[in-house]
Amino acid sequence: MNDQRVLEVEQKSPVSEEDNLIIDTVNKFLERDVKPFVKEFESEDKYPQLIADKMADLGLFGATISPEYGGLGLSAVTYSKIVENVSAVWMSVSGIFNSHLIMCAAVERFGSEEMKQYYLPKFASGEIRGGIALTEPDCGTDLQSIKTKAEKVGDDYIINGTKTWITNSVQGSILAVLVKTDTNIKPAHKGMSLILVEKKHGFVARKLKKLGYRGIDTGEVQLENVKVPKSNLIGEIEGKGLQQILAGLELGRINVAARGVGVARASLDDSIEYAKTRKTFGKPISEHQSIQIKLAEMATKLEASRLLTEQAAKAYDSGNRSDLQAGMAKLFATETALFNSTEAMRIHGGFGYSPEYNIERYYRDAPLLAIGEGTNELQKLIIAKQLVSDN
């Protein structure tokens, strides 16, 4: 992004000096330790272990965990700026710490003090990394239909079921698993609970192939008679799992919106650069009106996405539920990522279709944003529900 626009963004957003230092440090890490390696790891769908280790050194696995538990305690505003910058370089890297942080948020908000004392420092340092396991082969949007069951036997839960599309399940060692602890109760969410399950307890994960978001692991997880101490139930009381994970997903949606801003920004920046150098009919294509119109639309949608994302992050930081703002930001910013990556492909002509350029990666990564953390169809339902209930 050109310096003038970066400056304008910084002026619009109140970020402390200390947080700006963290953002600068992450930017340097992206330039030095990520950018040169993206093509290699992406094209081979290879896990970037060194990058993940450096992220641990930077404290990113504890970005939003409170300092009292060893985290950086960043605000959602600062966190979303970091996610935007990471995603403008390589969206997959944001997945390594984002679903981990949704799990962390659920533990910090709802876990017992004993659970927090034990797990959060290890989560913050990156010693234990993981994610969230909600989706099943037969349901993703309709989470109340999950079939994975946890049965209490003595001091343990015995868990059986299959989860799919679970990010960090192969390389990570812990998952917050959404289960049914009561299959008869109505409504179904009253029988749903969130349980921390470690790999040592016995879950098995198989890596899945993907269109984009490559390099990081997304897997199918089998839980067969997995025995977990009952103290791993988040919040100690059964039946609260759906609310707990939905609260965590607010931050998740802000993060996905920020990813959208990052991908949309990278698509625009690469397009501006290309349009200034590619010549047709004796002049740079940036001088053709049809290209100028594309750039103008891309830039306007990008700015609107960034403002919506910042607004959602501020609402989250205020401590109130921010479903409406997070839903709007997620919807608009991710549709913008899809729009901008497609327009970037057109601006680049045939070269956009080549792995030599980053455009085809943005084009493959962007659709996930419309699916993950609640599909965009679901976001519209969430937005409408809030509008109706507020009036």
Ligand X SMILES: Cc1cc2nc3c(=O)[nH]c(=O)nc-3n(C[C@H](O)[C@H](O)[C@H](O)COP(=O)(O)OP(=O)(O)OC[C@H]3O[C@@H](n4cnc5c(N)ncnc54)[C@H](O)[C@@H]3O)c2cc1C
171 belongs to the binding site for ligand X (CB under 6 A): no
Q: Please identify which residue in 64, 78, 87, 135 interacts with ligand X, judged by CB under 6 A.
A: 135
Find the binding residues for ligand X in span 53-112 (CB under 6 A). Answer: 99
| Residue 208, phi then psi, degrees to nearest 5 | -105, 150
371 belongs to the binding site for ligand X (CB under 6 A): yes
Q: Please identify which residue in 34, 52, 65, 133 interacts with ligand X, judged by CB under 6 A.
A: 133
Active site residue 198: no
Q: Please identify which residue in 78, 85, 92, 167 interacts with ligand X, judged by CB under 6 A.
A: 167
Give me the sign of the Cα torsion angle 173, 53, 95, 127. positive
Nearer to ligand X, 131 or 241 (CB): 131
327 belongs to the binding site for ligand X (CB under 6 A): no
**Which residue is catalytic, options 10, 303, 373, 377?**
373
174 belongs to the binding site for ligand X (CB under 6 A): no
**Which span (83-91, 265-273, 354-362, 365-373) binds ligand X, by CB under 6 A?**
365-373
Q: Please identify which residue in 80, 218, 232, 267 interacts with ligand X, judged by CB under 6 A.
A: 218
DSSP string for 296-331: HHHHHHHHHHHHHHHHHHHHHHTTS--HHHHHHHHH
Own/partner pairs, 19-27, CB within 8 angstroms, 24+ separation: 19/74, 19/75, 19/78, 22/72, 22/74, 22/78, 22/82, 23/78, 23/81, 23/82, 23/85, 25/58, 26/58, 26/60, 26/82, 26/85, 26/86, 27/85
304 belongs to the binding site for ligand X (CB under 6 A): no
Measured between alpha carbons, how far is 86 from 95 in angstroms, rounded to an integer?
Answer: 10
Provide the 8-state DSSP code for 208: P
Find the binding residues for ligand X in span 102-131 (CB under 6 A). Answer: 131
**Which span (76-84, 148-156, 159-167, 353-361) binds ligand X, by CB under 6 A?**
159-167
Q: Please identify which residue in 377, 384, 385, 387 interacts with ligand X, judged by CB under 6 A.
A: 377
134 belongs to the binding site for ligand X (CB under 6 A): yes
What burial class does residue 37 get, using C-beta atoms within 10 Å of its C-beta: 0-12 exposed, 13-18 middle, 19+ buried?
middle
User: Going by C-beta distance under 8 Å and a sequence separation of 6 or more, which residues neighbour residue 85?
Assistant: 23, 26, 27, 30, 262
Instruction: Output the smallest distance, CB 371 to ligand X, in A.
Output: 5
Instruction: Output the smallest distance, CB 210 to ligand X, in A.
Output: 5
DSSP string for 223-283: EEEEEEEGGGBTTSSTT-HHHHHHHHHHHHHHHHHHHHHHHHHHHHHHHHHHHHH-EETTE
Nearer to ligand X, 131 or 161 (CB): 131
Instruction: Output the smallest distance, CB 3 to ligand X, in A.
Output: 34
Measured between alpha carbons, how far is 367 from 35 in angstroms, rounded to an integer?
Answer: 22
Of the candidates 318, 335, 317, the residue with the CA atom closest to the CA atom of residue 383: 335
**Which span (188-196, 197-205, 281-289, 376-384) binds ligand X, by CB under 6 A?**
376-384
Nearer to ligand X, 271 or 379 (CB): 379
**Which span (15-23, 36-44, 346-354, 369-377) binds ligand X, by CB under 6 A?**
369-377
**Which span (116-124, 326-334, 355-363, 375-383) binds ligand X, by CB under 6 A?**
375-383
Asked if the bond preceding 187 is cis, omega within 30° of 0, the reply is yes
Instruction: Output the smallest distance, CB 205 to ligand X, in A.
Output: 11
Measured between alpha carbons, how far is 205 from 182 in angstroms, rounded to an integer?
Answer: 25
132 belongs to the binding site for ligand X (CB under 6 A): yes
Instruction: Tell me which residue has its CB nearest to ligand X.
Output: 140
Extended beta strands in 60-126, E state:
none
* Residues found near ligand X in the complex (CB under 6 A): 99, 131-135, 139-142, 165-167, 210, 213, 218, 368, 371-372, 375, 377-378, 381
Catalytic residues: 373
